[in-house]
């Protein structure tokens, strides 16, 4: 797999694109529980960021009154796909991202899916079966932004749901030497991975087909961290640009790895 068409330092400049994208979005009002408006686009063969929608468990509406699956939507994916459009040859849809339920037949058309806040993830048996079929057919999922903190038993709930999807599933620790961290950018140490508000070190794990690390990776799990928060707020100056750059590198690597393996 080739490296970026442009120097890594281009990300410093590209953050201004995210600023433009954010300026064109309305601020989310604070208030009671609300469902965000979803504007899916038809499948046309081009890469489209696909976010997974699920029923939010107790406590998951703490952020702007939004359901847990929607935290960061759509700003995080808008900014990530703009970065990807500039530094890769993937040519993703920009300013367009789909939201799909676990049992939506349309999900099978999108090889990479993303879930946030799996600590509040709940689902029906029908959704579990459909999600299992998606993964076994070749789907790849990025799990991000969940933790054992803030009164949320994140890992326990995540594992309980995953055991329904893939009975007997195991999770394997990832290291910086794993190919996913070199699919586009070279990430040689997790020490450079920033933490937005989580305490301690981020944890990176993988789920493999048949629990066999020599087989296809079906999911990457970012636990005790919120990588997408850097995508969401990269244009607002809350954290150093260098930290957002590293978070973008992770996102680009995940997508490029999934699209080439």
Domain at 103, CATH number: 3.40.50.12140
Determine the average pLDDT of the residues in 168-192: 97
The reply to whether 160 falls in a domain is yes
The pLDDT score that the predictor gives to residue 250 is 98
The reply to whether 21 falls in a domain is no
Number of structural domains (the chain) is 1
The reply to whether 10 falls in a domain is no
The reply to whether 86 falls in a domain is yes
Q: Is 229 in contact with 77 (CB distance < 8 Å)?
A: no
Closest residue by Cα to residue 2 from 261, 258, 256: 256
Q: Is 101 in contact with 55 (CB distance < 8 Å)?
A: no
Determine the average pLDDT of the residues in 119-147: 97
- What is d(CA 79, CA 251) in angstroms, rounded to the nearest whole number? 11
pLDDT in tens, 11-58: 544 444 444 333 333 334 345 788 899 999 999 999 999 999 999 999
pLDDT for 10 beyond 60: no
What residues contact 240, with CB distance under 8 A and at least 6 apart? none
pLDDT for 60 beyond 70: yes
The reply to whether 1 falls in a domain is no
Determine the average pLDDT of the residues in 113-138: 98
pLDDT for 116 beyond 90: yes
Determine the average pLDDT of the residues in 85-113: 97
The pLDDT score that the predictor gives to residue 85 is 97
- Show the domain range for 116: 38-260
pLDDT band at 207, cuts 50/70/90? very high
Measured torsion, CA atoms of residues 101, 102, 107, 112, in degrees rounded to the nearest 10: 110
Task: Kindly report which listed range (56-60, 96-100, 219-223) carries the lowest average pLDDT score.
Answer: 56-60
> Which pair of tokens denotes residue 6?
């442009």
> Which pair of tokens denotes residue 170?
């195991």
pLDDT in tens, 65-80: 999 999 999 999 999 9
The pLDDT score that the predictor gives to residue 27 is 35
The reply to whether 4 falls in a domain is no
- What is d(CA 15, CA 241) in angstroms, rounded to the nearest whole number? 8
Mean pLDDT of the chain: 89
The pLDDT score that the predictor gives to residue 142 is 98
pLDDT band at 63, cuts 50/70/90? confident
Q: Is 222 in contact with 173 (CB distance < 8 Å)?
A: no
Q: Which runs of E-coded beta strand occur in the chain?
A: 49-53, 55-56, 97-101, 112-116, 121-122, 140-144, 148-149, 152-153, 172-173, 203-208, 217-223
User: Sign of the C-alpha dihedral, residues 3, 16, 114, 240?
Assistant: positive
Stated pTM of the model: 0.88
Determine the average pLDDT of the residues in 146-155: 83
The reply to whether 31 falls in a domain is no
Integer CA distances (angstroms), 167 to 27, 103, 119, in order:
41, 18, 18
The reply to whether 134 falls in a domain is yes
């Amino acid at each position: 797999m080739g490296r970026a068409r442009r120097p890594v330092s281009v990300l410093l400049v590209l953050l201004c694109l995210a600023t433009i994208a954010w300026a064109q979005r309305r601020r989310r009002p604070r208030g009671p529980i609300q469902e965000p408006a979803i504007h899916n686009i038809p499948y046309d063969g081009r890469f489209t960021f696909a976010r997974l929608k699920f029923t939010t468990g107790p406590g998951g509406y703490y952020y702007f009154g939004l359901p847990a699956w929607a935290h960061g939507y759509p700003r995080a994916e808008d900014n990530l796909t703009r970065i990807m459009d500039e530094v890769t040859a993937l040519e993703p849809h920009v300013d367009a991202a789909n939201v799909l339920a676990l049992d939506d037949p349309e999900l099978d058309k999108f090889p990479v899916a993303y879930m946030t806040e799996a600590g509040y993830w709940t689902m029906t048996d029908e959704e579990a079966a459909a999600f299992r079929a998606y993964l076994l057919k070749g789907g790849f999922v990025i799990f991000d932004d969940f933790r054992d903190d803030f009164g949320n038993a994140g890992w326990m709930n995540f594992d309980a749901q995953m055991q329904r999807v893939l009975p007997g599933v195991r999770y394997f620790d990832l290291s910086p030497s794993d190919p996913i961290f070199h699919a586009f950018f070279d990430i040689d140490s997790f020490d450079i991975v920033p933490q937005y508000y989580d305490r301690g070190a981020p944890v990176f794990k993988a789920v493999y087909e048949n629990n066999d690390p020599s087989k296809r990776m079906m999911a990457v799990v970012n636990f005790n961290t919120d990588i997408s928060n850097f995508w969401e707020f990269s244009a607002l100056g809350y954290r150093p640009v260098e930290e957002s750059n590293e978070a973008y590198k992770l996102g680009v690597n995940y997508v490029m790895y999934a699209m080439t393996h």
